[in-house]
């Protein structure tokens, strides 16, 4: 047994990107940082991922855009965003002062658009890297078609890789048959990390009016309800790639985060939980620290991928 | 611009009681928020510690008790907020079980509240059902400012009168009647079943007032069911009076981060105007499609001829929780 560590290190490395702790605010749930800055110290978080950004502004889908479901929620925002130009002019100056790394979540409707965004963003400072969203279920232009096949994932990511030398993380969709193959394709195309999962496509119906609750009919499911799926997929992806895996999906408490780390995630993202408790990320950081102390782990890295599987029950069914 | 302070506190429940068949009042001790709160703003309440129901629920301020430094006679003088809520579903049913003395997670104050319309001598408050609740807080503030008017309060320097028109399905579906009376306001009341006051709608009262009294110098402040607000907007447009409406939208975060609470408004910005020109120049349809989504463009394309002759008012979505919940009625695209 190793000596008891009073002050275990929370620092993690996502390839070239160093984070002071493994807790990241997830895209689309944290606005452009500003929205939560009056409530919590942003500088305490490991990193922030901004709302999905496209070259041109997008209006998003018609309301209602939200529906609550058991232990989760459906959203059909439709990737509403201010567009690259306004992002650079009006949002980035604030983010530069946030005192934590900022990852910009990007999407496009063509491979060229993705590459163009990557190129334009790599020329500005104050951005720690990109998270490439090839997985938004709510709009055709959200790139979900790219996420479905290893071939298309490879195509779009290798093009982005050639367009930028920045840190590139690829955000994967759970709406696929074999997550391992997709994650591998991203790695082979030159991604520095993969993050998963994005939301699952779902439906909610109002029985009184017999109409869909959402203006867009279907929406993306997030929140505690999706944790088992995210966890399983992170575990599967971490088995096959060598690049870091970032776990997302239903993380509300430190225990949820620990499960993801044990499953093989190097860092995790907190999404829906921030709506319920703006301090969720901070509490998770605290909880991880306490767990490491209590269980004599010198750092987070020694916990990552430490899942123990008994030989006779180890095969997925 | 520095973001406005938002507090996240565990507030003690000072009072919780039923005030009608499915109406309740909840008073929360939270000086931090009460100090900053403005009528028309709201709080997000975490109604359960479990993950079902998951999201917080938005509620307007029914009464605001800012902390009193000198006389602290009543418990609420320490700084409290009162909300009045109607039980409609899972979250609000759950709330009915909350007990006095318990603590509740409160996030606020959120959003943009009512603002005084400069140079208007009459404020007409018109509300329906549970939508009357936020008008009570606004009336209280207007009355306070009115009392101070000799000292030239900048917010309501010219305000001489407050007129309250309220309605609901029946007499027990209208909150705040007693509070208005206590302020010395005699609300005009309409009920659909005729159980109190005039039988009909609050908007009927408004029309009657405007037709018979003119009220050229009035400003309107309104909250209630959507069809009522749309009608109020229509009437005030006819009479060319400024009108503010408090709109409800579905919310997840309440702070502007999720973009879930979209409200469709006319786009009067320069960018909107330019896009409008663009759309005109390019024959609209294709262009609209990639900006607004296929569905929307589809519905516009059906009437393509008029689009080309005169493009529809360009719209954008704004956040109900941040740019609202109080909007200028003429900005809203009522559909
Ligand atoms: C800014 C704002 C201020 C509000 N102020 C008050 C207030 O002072 N008093 C009050 O009683 N209510 C107020 N509401 C409405 C209140 O938030 C909803 O009634 C509540 O969230 C419903 O929760 P539930 O879990 O009981 O209903 P759910 O089980 O979630 O839904 C039940 C039904 O309620 C309706 N509903 C759900 N959410 C909303 C919503 N956000 N707006 C309108 N209808 C909804 C839906 O049609 C649904 O069918 C306000 C809403 C907003 C956005
Ligand atoms: C309202 C909302 C908006 C989102 N927008 C984006 C987005 O723009 N880009 C993206 O990659 N993911 C987006 N997501 C997905 C989240 O980043 C995250 O992957 C998902 O919510 C699962 O995590 P959670 O269960 O912790 O919320 C969004 C999620 C929600 C709830
Ligand atoms: S509720 Fe999240 S942006 Fe308004």
The Å distance, Cα A136 to ligand 2 centre, comes to 8
Cα separation of A17 and A10, whole Å?
14
Q: E strands, chain B, where?
A: 7-18, 23-29, 42-46, 57-60, 63-65, 80-86, 103-110, 122-128, 161-168, 188-191, 198-199, 218-223, 243-246, 262-266, 315-319, 326-328
Q: Is A124 on the interface with B (CB under 8 A)?
A: no
With CA atoms as reference, the chain A residue closest to B296 would be A62
Per 3-state DSSP, chain A is made up of helix, strand and coil in percentages (nearest 5) of 35, 20, 40
What separation in angstroms does the CA of A107 have from each of A61, A91, A170, B151, B229? Answer: 16, 17, 11, 56, 38
Nearest-atom index, ligand 2, CA of A133 = 11
Q: Which two tokens stand for residue B117?
A: 């319309």
Closest to A10 measured CA to CA, from A305, A299, A303, A306: A299
Q: Is A34 on the interface with B (CB under 8 A)?
A: yes
Exposure class string for B71-95: b at 16+ Cβ within 10 A, else e: eeeeebbbbbbbbbbbbeeebbebb
Neighbours of A239 (CB within 10 A): 13
Q: Does an H or E element contain B141, and which?
A: helix B133-147
Q: Which strands, in side-by-side order, build the sheet including B243-246?
A: B198-199, B188-191, B161-168, B122-128, B218-223, B243-246, B326-328
- Residue A201 bridge partners (DSSP): A220
pLDDT (tens, 9 = 90+) of chain B, 335 residues, equals: 566 789 999 999 999 999 988 999 999 999 999 999 999 999 999 998 888 899 999 999 999 999 998 877 899 899 999 999 999 999 999 999 999 999 999 999 999 999 999 889 999 999 999 999 999 999 999 998 887 755 544 555 567 799 999 999 998 899 999 999 999 999 999 999 989 889 899 999 999 999 998 888 999 999 999 999 999 999 999 999 999 999 999 999 999 999 999 999 988 765 555 555 555 555 444 444 444 445 444 444 444 333 333 344 588 999 999 999 999 999 999 97
pLDDT in tens, A157-206: 999 999 999 999 999 999 898 999 999 999 999 999 999 999 999 999 99
ipTM of the complex: 0.93
Cα separation of A224 and A280, whole Å?
13
Which of B107, B257, B292 lies at the smallest CB-CB distance from A35?
B257
Ligand 3 proximity of B252 Cβ (cutoff 6 Å):
yes
Quote the DSSP letter at residue B114.
-
pLDDT in tens, B270-329: 555 555 555 555 544 444 444 444 544 444 444 433 333 334 458 899 999 999 999 999
Which of residues 274 through 313 in chain A touch B, CB cutoff 8 A?
274-279
Is the alpha carbon torsion for A227, A233, A238, A243 positive or negative? negative
| Interface with chain B: mutation pick from A25, A81, A215, A276, highest number of B CBs within 10 Å | A276
Cα separation of A171 and A167, whole Å?
13
pLDDT in tens, A50-81: 999 999 999 999 999 999 999 999 999 999 99
Closest to A47 measured CA to CA, from A286, A276, A269: A269
The Å distance, Cα A43 to ligand 3 centre, comes to 22
The confidence score (pLDDT) of residue A123 equals 87
Contact A66 B260 (CB under 8 A): yes
pTM of the model: 0.91
- What residues of A are annotated to the active site? 136
3-class DSSP state for residue A164? coil
Mean pLDDT, residues A253-277 = 98
* Residue count (chain B): 335
Is A145's pLDDT higher than 70?
A: no
User: pLDDT exceeding 90 applies to what percent of chain B?
Assistant: 67
Kindly report the CA angle at B93 between B90 and B96, in degrees rounded to 5?
A: 150
**Is the pLDDT higher at A204 or at A139?**
A204
How does DSSP assign B257-318, residue by residue?
Answer: SS--SEEEEE--SHHHHHHHHHHHHTTSHHHHHHHH-HHHHHHHHHTHHHHHHSPPPPEEEE
Ligand 3 proximity of B247 Cβ (cutoff 6 Å):
no
């Amino acid at each position: 047994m190793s000596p008891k560590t009073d002050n275990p290190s929370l620092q993690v490395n996502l390839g070239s990107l160093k984070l002071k702790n493994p807790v990241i605010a997830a895209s689309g749930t944290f606005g452009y940082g500003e929205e939560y800055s009056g409530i919590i110290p942003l500088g305490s978080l490991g990193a922030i991922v901004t709302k999905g950004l496209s070259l041109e502004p997008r209006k998003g889908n018609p309301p209602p855009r939200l529906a609550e479901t058991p232990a989760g929620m459906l959203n059909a925002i439709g990737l509403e965003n201010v567009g690259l130009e306004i992002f650079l002019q009006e949002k980035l100056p604030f983010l530069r002062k946030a005192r934590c790394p900022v990852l910009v979540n990007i999407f496009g409707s063509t491979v060229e658009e993705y590459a163009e965004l990557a190129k334009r963003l790599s020329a500005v400072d104050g951005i720690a890297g990109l998270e490439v969203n090839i997985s938004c279920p709510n709009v055709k232009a959200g790139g979900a078609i790219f996420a479905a096949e290893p071939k298309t994932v490879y195509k779009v990511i290798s093009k982005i890789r050639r367009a930028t030398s920045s840190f590139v993380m690829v955000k994967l969709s759970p709406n696929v048959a074999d997550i391992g193959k997709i994650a591998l394709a991203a790695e082979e195309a030159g991604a520095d990390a993969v993050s998963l999962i994005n939301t699952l496509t779902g439906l909610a119906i109002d029985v009184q009016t017999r109409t869909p609750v959402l203006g867009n009919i279907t929406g993306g499911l997030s929140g505690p309800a999706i944790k088992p799926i995210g966890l399983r997929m992170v575990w599967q992806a971490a088995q096959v790639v060598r690049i870091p895996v970032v776990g997302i999906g239903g993380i509300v408490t430190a225990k949820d985060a620990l499960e993801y780390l044990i499953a093989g995630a190097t860092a995790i993202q907190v999404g829906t939980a921030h709506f319920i408790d703006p301090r969720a990320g901070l509490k998770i950081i605290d909880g991880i620290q306490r767990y490491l102390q209590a269980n004599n782990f010198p750092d987070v890295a020694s916990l990552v991928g430490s899942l123990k599987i008994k030989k006779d029950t180890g095969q997925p069914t | 611009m520095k973001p406005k302070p938002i507090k996240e506190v565990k507030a003690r429940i000072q009072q919780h009681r039923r005030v009608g068949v499915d109406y309740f009042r909840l008073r929360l001790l939270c000086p931090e928020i009460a100090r900053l709160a403005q009528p028309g703003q709201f709080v997000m309440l975490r109604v359960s510690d479990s993950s079902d129901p998951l999201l917080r629920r938005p509620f307007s301020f029914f009464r605001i008790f800012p902390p009193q430094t000198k006389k602290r006679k009543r418990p609420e003088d320490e700084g409290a907020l009162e909300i009045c809520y109607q039980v409609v579903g899972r979250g609000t049913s759950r709330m009915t079980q909350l007990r006095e003395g318990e603590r509740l997670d409160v996030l606020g104050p959120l959003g943009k509240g009512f603002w005084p319309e400069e140079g208007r001598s009459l404020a007409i408050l018109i509300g329906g059902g549970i939508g009357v609740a936020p008008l009570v807080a606004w009336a209280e503030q207007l009355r306070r400012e009115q009392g101070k008017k000799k000292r030239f309060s900048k917010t309501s320097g010219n305000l001489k009168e407050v007129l309250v028109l309220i309605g609901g399905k029946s007499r027990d579906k209208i909150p705040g009647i007693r509070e208005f009376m206590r302020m010395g306001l005699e609300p005009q009341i309409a009920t659909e079943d005729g159980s109190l006051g005039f039988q009909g709608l609050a908007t009927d009262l408004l029309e009657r007032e405007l037709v018979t009294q003119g009220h050229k110098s009035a400003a309107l402040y309104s909250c209630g069911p959507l069809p009522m607000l749309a009608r109020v907007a229509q009437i005030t447009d006819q009479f060319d009076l400024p009108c503010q409406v408090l709109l409800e939208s579905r919310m997840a975060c309440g702070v502007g981060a999720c973009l879930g609470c979209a409200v469709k408004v006319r786009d009067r910005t320069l960018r909107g105007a330019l896009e409008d020109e663009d759309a005109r120049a390019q024959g609209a349809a294709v262009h609209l499609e990639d900006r607004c989504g296929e569905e929307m463009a589809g519905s516009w394309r059906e009437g393509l001829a008029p689009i080309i002759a005169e493009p529809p008012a360009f719209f954008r979505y704004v956040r109900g929780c941040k740019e609202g919940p109080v909007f200028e009625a003429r900005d809203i695209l009522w559909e």
